Amino acid sequence: MNEMEEQVISLSEIFEALKKRWIMIVAITVVATLISGVLSFFVIDPVYEASTKVFIGKEESDDVAYNSSDINMYQQLLQTYAQAIKTKDLASRALDDLSYDLEPSTVISNLTVNPITSTQILEIKYKSKDPKEAKEVLKNVTDEFIVTAKDLVPNGNVRVIEEVELPESPVSPNKTMNIAIAFLLGLMVSVGLVFLIEYLDNTYKSKEQLEKELDIPVLGTIPDVDML
């Protein structure tokens, strides 16, 4: 019974602490949410991502039909091709006829090459703050890769199966997620701050608490008087 009473008192104290400082909780949460919204909508530059898919296989003119060893070989070649795409020489050639002020290292850092599992397909992506730049750079990188791939494996068949398109919507920042995270963090921080303040406050807040803590009866209390 005593444990239940202590638990009830504890929950009651927590509720009272939150109720007493609800303005601080709301203020911190709202400020954190507003800051996140301003950063997401007006400060952080949107990033766009263009993508394409390339098929890796045998030369179309080959008379020999596909077999399982051929498929396995070309699937393993995907890893080699993925590394070949992200080279400075290839990136440099891709930039030759473009007017963008980009370094090959910058292009490589914004490139993502993913061999799709259990297929002979490479997915290539490029991120940029300019959607037109994202499309044009990726298009040139893909064209240069096809030329390089034919030099590496002369009897290979490398072709684009999904053309590069101009990205219409940014992939980041995720405004909704950022605001939701800021709201939750603001709420958690404000509630945690309330508990910290209550923990550091060692004053007695009621006659009942004083009697419980010191195990002595309270003979009288001084009423609150509003000073005019």
Q: Is 126 helix (H, G, I), strand (E, B) or coil?
A: strand
Q: How many other β-carbons are positioned within 10 Å of the β-carbon of residue 223?
A: 5
pLDDT score of 68: 65
pLDDT digits (tens, 9 = 90+) for 158-198: 899 999 999 999 999 999 999 999 999 999 999 999 988 87
In this structure, are strands 48-58 and 156-162 parallel, antiparallel, or unpaired?
antiparallel
pLDDT score of 148: 92
Inter-CA distances, 72 with 66, 94, 120, 126, Å:
10, 30, 9, 27
Domain 48-162 has CATH 3.30.70.1130: yes
- pLDDT at residue 131 is higher than 90: yes
pLDDT score of 111: 97
- pLDDT at residue 31 is higher than 90: yes
The mean pLDDT value for 39-59 works out to 91
Q: How far apart are CA 64 and CA 75, in angstroms?
A: 18
Would you place residue 118 in the very low, low, confident or very high pLDDT band (cuts 50, 70, 90)?
confident
In the chain, ranges of CATH 3.30.70.1130 domains:
48-162
- pLDDT at residue 12 is higher than 80: no
37-41, 121-125, 205-209: which has the minimum mean pLDDT? 205-209
Beta partners for residue 54, in sequence order:
122, 160
Would you place residue 224 in the very low, low, confident or very high pLDDT band (cuts 50, 70, 90)?
low
pLDDT score of 219: 58
pLDDT score of 59: 65
User: Are 37 and 179 in contact, with CB atoms under 8 Å apart?
Assistant: yes
**N- to C-terminal Cα separation, the chain:** 46
Would you place residue 3 in the very low, low, confident or very high pLDDT band (cuts 50, 70, 90)?
very low
Q: How many other β-carbons are positioned within 10 Å of the β-carbon of residue 63?
A: 4
